[in-house]
Amino acid sequence: MTVYTVLLILHLLAATFWVGGMACMHFAVRPTAISHLDPAQRLPFLTAALGRFLHGVAAAIAVLLLTGLAMVFAQGGFGAVHWSVHAMATLGLLMMAVFGHIRWAAYPRLQQAVRSGQWQAAASVLQAIGRWVATNLGLGVAVYTLATLGRML
């Protein structure tokens, strides 16, 4: 197994964790919590689950950046790679910016609202986070499309 193959495997695993985790949180965990828990249980639960997920995503982002750049430079740099790699990198950076907004702007507001028992405010912030997650999930699907079909486009 070559170094490039190991980099690609790590890159794909990190991307799968992030995009798959967003899909699971958005389409399974959140709707189930909404349908089965009252706000005083649901909001602390979702805040804690989101916090754990955000830590994992931060690690995944570090892996994605390191492996992505290493693979690009192994191929001769950005001037040598297909346009789809540039598009994936651009969308990936946009996803990271959205993550940064969720992690360092919205999530602390959610934590504060939950700590103070302001369920209406917490629900509002969580709803906004859900919209950002849906946006990032769409971007992640676009990146996967480029990764698998980019050379054919």
- The whole-angstrom distance between residue 124's C-alpha and the CA centroid of its chain comes to 20
Task: Give the pLDDT confidence score for residue 11 in this predicted structure.
Answer: 98
Q: What global pTM score does this model have?
A: 0.95
Mean pLDDT over each residue of the chain, to the nearest integer: 97
CB 60 within 8 A of CB 18: yes
Per-residue pLDDT band for 152 (boundaries 50, 70, 90) equals confident
Chain segment 114-145, per-residue pLDDT in tens? 999 999 999 999 999 999 999 999 999 999 99
Alpha-carbon span 121 to 48, nearest angstrom: 16
- What's the residue count for the chain? 153
Which of 9, 22, 29, 23 has its CA nearest to residue 54? Answer: 22
Helix (H) or strand (E) holding 62: helix 39-74
Task: Give the pLDDT confidence score for residue 96 in this predicted structure.
Answer: 98
Task: Give the pLDDT confidence score for residue 112 in this predicted structure.
Answer: 98
Alpha-carbon span 35 to 33, nearest angstrom: 5
CA distances from 46 to 18, 50, 73, 90, 136 (A): 17, 6, 39, 30, 18
Alpha-carbon span 30 to 21, nearest angstrom: 12
Amino acid present at 138: G
Average pLDDT over residues 102-109: 98
Per-residue pLDDT band for 104 (boundaries 50, 70, 90) equals very high
Residue 38, helix vs strand vs coil? coil
Chain segment 41-98, per-residue pLDDT in tens? 999 999 999 999 999 999 999 999 999 999 999 999 999 999 999 999 999 999 999 9
Asked whether residue 153 carries a pLDDT value surpassing 90, the answer given is no
